[in-house]
């Protein structure tokens, strides 16, 4: 599966990109229909320490799945976004089975 990682206004280090690749790759193991994904990492201009945003879009046939999470670290934001996508994948699979 193709994983595109875009970091806005900063350079993501190898450790972070490896972490994101590993997490997002696991999603393709849950569902065979995953074509690819886009991951966008951003820093929000807020005073709070929870200013790291991870947006993940999974490309699947039909509708794309999308999750956006904001946390203290990019790893934590990626984790929670992946968890949200896991729920979306299981909902999508159950919809397909019920047809």
Rg (CA), the chain: 14
What is the SS3 assignment for 27? Answer: helix
Locate the DSSP E strands across the chain: 2-7, 36-43, 52-59, 65-71
| pLDDT(90) > 80 | yes
Give the model confidence (pLDDT) of 49-80 as tens digits.
889 999 999 999 888 999 999 999 999 999 99
How many separate domains does the chain show? 1
- The domain that holds 26 is classified in CATH as 3.30.160.100
Q: Which residues, listed in sequence order, are joined to residue 9 by a DSSP beta bridge?
A: none
**Whole-prediction pTM value?**
0.92
What is the Cα 95 distance to its own chain's centre?
21
**Residue range of the domain that includes 13:** 2-98
Residue 99 has pLDDT above 80, yes or no: no
- What's the burial of 38, exposed, middle or buried (CB within 10 Å: 0-12/13-18/19+)? middle
């Amino acid at each position: 599966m193709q994983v595109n990682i875009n970091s806005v206004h900063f350079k993501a280090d190898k450790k972070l990109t490896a972490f994101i690749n590993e997490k997002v790759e696991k999603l393709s193991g849950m569902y065979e229909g995953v074509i690819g994904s886009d991951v966008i990492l951003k820093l929000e201009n807020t005073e709070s320490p929870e200013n790291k945003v991870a947006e993940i879009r999974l490309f699947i046939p039909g509708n794309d799945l999308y999750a956006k999470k904001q946390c203290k670290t990019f790893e934590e934001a990626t984790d929670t976004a992946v968890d949200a996508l896991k729920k979306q994948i299981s909902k999508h699979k159950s919809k397909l089975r019920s047809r």
